[in-house]
Structure 1
Amino acid sequence: MSRHAVVLGAGMVGVSIAWHLQQRGRQVTLVDRRQPGQETSFGNAGIIQRESVRPYPFPRDIKTILSVLPNRRVDIRYRPRGMWNAVSPLLSYWHHSSSRRYQQIVPEYASLIQLCLKTHGPMIEAAGAEHLVRREGWLEIYRTPEKLAKRVKEAEEVRDLYDVQFEVLDRQALLGKEPDLSDDIIGAIHWLDPWTVADPGALVAAYAASFVAQGGRIVQSDIQSVTQNEAHWQVTTADETISAEDVVLALGPWAGDWLKGLGYRFPTFVKRGYHMHYSTQAPSRLHNWLMDAEVGYLLAPMNAGVRLTTGAELDRLESPADEHQLDAAEKVARRIFPLGERREQTAWKGARPCLPDMKPVIGPAPHHDGLWLAFGHGHQGFTLGPATGYLLADMMDGKTPEIEMAPFRAERF
């Protein structure tokens, strides 16, 4: 009989792992307190970011750090208590963002990103989810020629190193794609490789439905305990106890706390984020995903309306929402595009699960046979879920993965 695996967490990462294991002939149970794709995977910007071969480093220059201190920026906000609670991992994050360490991290991180389209593609096809996906890239817009020119130079570097394709758009070419942008925007980089998704939560749900159609099982219930008993694991939920040879922990921002109960101390922290949907002022229409790169928010033409997603908020995972960052982003966004009314009463709030070296943990737990880990994907869990599932399934089958996995092993902490 095939080995039974229980995957904990039904976000993009957990669903993708379950899907790949089911493809390999495993008996798989997927467990989460909510339906698939309803936590962090629900609220992102909906971009499968093939161009994002460089992770987001901690600011190191004094000018940027001083600009953050007043706590009014759109791209990053913080709360002192949240910063204090995460002071150790944040200091480590700052250390890993040094030029020397960052140059070592980028090719390791890029090896994952380069698999994203290859691994999303078969899942999209199997799930019949083509209607949710556009393969037209997205636009990174700029106000100042100097900053656009600097970014073009960076784009040329990643094009040469990692086969990332782009076009530079002047004002006239940009207006051909987005005629309703204000005169403040003078040009853009059109990233050509990425795919965009009109409903990120629906794509995760479609992947989960494909998993079930292959014979997988989903249990929607609170996880109460995870224990090891000789050669088996016992996952106890509010409704039942599930026994399996393997357990995969893919609990996103909650992974660090859960692993403490098994004796592990990972330096996890979160970058929280918000989104809100808007109508547009007729007859205006948003045609493309737009990142206002000099300010730090993104507008996306989702099925639910134009979604505005914020940058990072450094705070505790479960702290109450603070919509000041969203309000500030909205104020700027209205100056460049004719947004209409808000479509929800309150903003959606989620948290990106982060580790100080900007790379996820993917692989076996160091001290427990049959326990596998997949968390810490930061800003790119939506992009990297299928690649993570593909690679981890190889590892669990005793096969050699397509890329070197040592940089992602848990032992590095």
Structure 2
Amino acid sequence: MTKQARQTTPFDVMVLGAGMVGVSTAIHLHRLGLDVALVDWKHPGGEASFGNAGIVQRNGFTPHAVPTNPQQLLGIFLKQSSAVSYDLATLVRLFPWLRRYHLASSGSSVEHYAKTVAPLRALVVQEHLDLARSTIADRFYRMGGWLHVYRSTGSFKESEIERYYARVFGVDYKELASGDVNKLEPGLKLPDLNAVHWTESCSVSNPGAVVDAFWRGYVQEGGAYFRGDARKLQNQRGSWSLECERGSITARNAVIALGSWSMDVLSKLGETYPLAVKRGYHMHFQPQAGVSLSRPVVDVENGFAMTPTDKGIRLTTGVELAERDAPPNPNVIKLARRRAEELFPLGRALQDEPWLGSRPCLPDSLPIVGASPKNKGLWFNFGHAHDGFTFGPVTGRILAELISNRTPVVDPSGFSPTRFAV
């Protein structure tokens, strides 16, 4: 190691975590004139930002609710559900959290969630496209929306609340009967499907490549990047410091954008937030010649999504309630594949083993974006649950504007860490 590499380099802000959320935050901070160091222990976009379904959701005004239908619950209990699977010990540990989650995703709480996320939803597509065009990532983006399919009339009727809020907030969609579904996506096999085409959303053909392109654009614009372990973050004399591979860095401000690993750092700093993990898997498949999808398709009842990507059809699973670092459960992807094959001929698997990642989720399904109430100069941008890829560019902009003392593009009060103050 050279003498220069061992020197301590000062910055205005260090951003810990280089997923979609962290990279977007670093870009916005740098473009606002701050000297920024982006830090991660691996290549940017290697975790949940890599493994998601690649959808930028203009819709999504209701949180993912805890199943209450007796038939659904029986399927989950018997481990025959592809929407929700569980490890019993983890389920028991998470029971108090799940109770809070259930209360926050039902009844009058749904309206609060809808009103809070609506300003974010209004901006997500444009914020993505703005970053994509400036970092040459726009080649991965495609318009055309995504498709929610329902195998039963009952589940379609249950989803009316999502369409209600879409109408309230002016989001376009189209309800499709079974014949119209196959006109839009001829590759789908089941003849009797109801569906909703969310036309204002967009998707990408390679989520990991998008984050990589954003990061490369940030570096080309002069942003600094370091390999380092965020768990070594220290607060010394009002400044944050971290030992990285190429030497130490210091900054007056530190941003925690570590997703499911955020509490690994925050718990050591006396910060307490009810962050839980929902695990998910994906695999890629090569469909038969002449059969494909033109947009992401979600089987709402069975919890999986199928997305056309540069590497074939990506099958992403529902929720697994298990410890973040526990070994993979091969039955999750097997069950999702079996359900998906009823809907679409996936064809040959292109991976020997599924990818596994973790979604960081708070009980109200909203992210934490703002300043720590306990540690001066510490800022948060984590807990995006199923929406990290979608919300990353806009919450990154909001936090950058807060740190630089500008008026945020969206009122951030609904995402304040103080809502969990005890």
Q: Please tell me the TM-score bracket, short chain as reference.
A: over 0.9
Tell me which amino acid in the other structure corresponds to 1:338.
Answer: P
The answer to whether 1:352 aligns with 2:390 is: no
Structure 2 counterparts to residues 151-170 of structure 1, below 5 A: 151=159, 153-170=160-177
Which residue is equivalent to 1:223?
Answer: 230
SS in 1 for 2:36: strand
The RMSD of aligned alpha carbons is 1.8
Q: Deviations over 1:19-47 (max 9, x none)?
A: 00011011111100111111110000000
Deviation of 1:187 (Å): 3.3
SS in 2 for 1:336: coil
| Contact 1:54/1:109, CA 8 A, preserved across alignment | no
Which residue is equivalent to 1:261?
Answer: 268
Which residue is equivalent to 2:215?
Answer: 208
Deviation of 1:149 (Å): 4.6
The answer to whether 1:290 aligns with 2:286 is: no
Deviation of 1:3 (Å): 5.8
The answer to whether 1:25 aligns with 2:25 is: no
Q: Deviations over 1:31-87 (max 9, x none)?
A: 001111111100000000111122212235555444432222110011012223333
Which residue is equivalent to 1:333?
Answer: 340
| Contact 2:227/2:244, CA 8 A, preserved across alignment | no
Give the unaligned 5+ runs of structure 2. Answer: 1-9
Tell me which amino acid in the other structure corresponds to 1:180.
Answer: G
Question: Compared with structure 1, are the counterparts of its residues 244 and 330 closer, same or farther at alpha carbon in structure 2 (3 Å cutoff)?
Answer: same
Deviation of 1:145 (Å): 3.7
Which residue is equivalent to 1:313?
Answer: 320
Q: Deviations over 1:296-327 (max 9, x none)?
A: 21111110110000000011110000021210
Q: Deviations over 1:247-292 (max 9, x none)?
A: 1010000001210000011111100000000011223222221111
| Contact 1:143/1:294, CA 8 A, preserved across alignment | yes
Q: Distance in 2 between matches of 1:256 and 1:218?
A: 22
Which residue is equivalent to 2:187?
Answer: 180
Comparing 51-60 with 347-356, greater Cα deviation is found at 51-60
Deviation of 1:140 (Å): 1.1
Question: Compared with structure 1, are the counterparts of its residues 91 and 334 closer, same or farther at alpha carbon in structure 2 (3 Å cutoff)?
Answer: same
Which residue is equivalent to 1:112?
Answer: 120
Q: Distance in 1 between matches of 2:134 and 2:185?
A: 33
Q: TM-score, normalised by structure 1?
A: 0.95
The answer to whether 1:142 aligns with 2:150 is: yes
Question: Compared with structure 1, are the counterparts of its residues 68 and 34 closer, same or farther at alpha carbon in structure 2 (3 Å cutoff)?
Answer: same
Q: Distance in 1 between matches of 2:173 and 2:414?
A: 28
SS in 2 for 1:123: helix
| Contact 1:59/1:94, CA 8 A, preserved across alignment | no
Q: Distance in 1 between matches of 2:113 and 2:184?
A: 35
Give the unaligned 5+ runs of structure 1. Answer: none
Which residue is equivalent to 2:51?
Answer: 43
Which residue is equivalent to 2:306?
Answer: 299
Question: Compared with structure 1, are the counterparts of its residues 225 and 198 closer, same or farther at alpha carbon in structure 2 (3 Å cutoff)?
Answer: same
SS in 2 for 1:93: helix
The answer to whether 1:77 aligns with 2:118 is: no
The answer to whether 1:401 aligns with 2:404 is: no
Deviation of 1:128 (Å): 1.2
Identity of aligned residues (%): 35
Moved over 6 A (4+): none
From 243, 256, 260, give the equivalent of 1:236.
243
| Contact 1:224/1:238, CA 8 A, preserved across alignment | no
SS in 2 for 1:112: helix
Q: Figure out how many residues of one structure are paired with residues of the other and give that number.
A: 411
Q: Distance in 2 between matches of 1:155 and 1:234?
A: 45
From 3, 13, 16, give the equivalent of 1:5.
13
SS in 1 for 2:397: helix
Which residue is equivalent to 2:4?
Answer: none
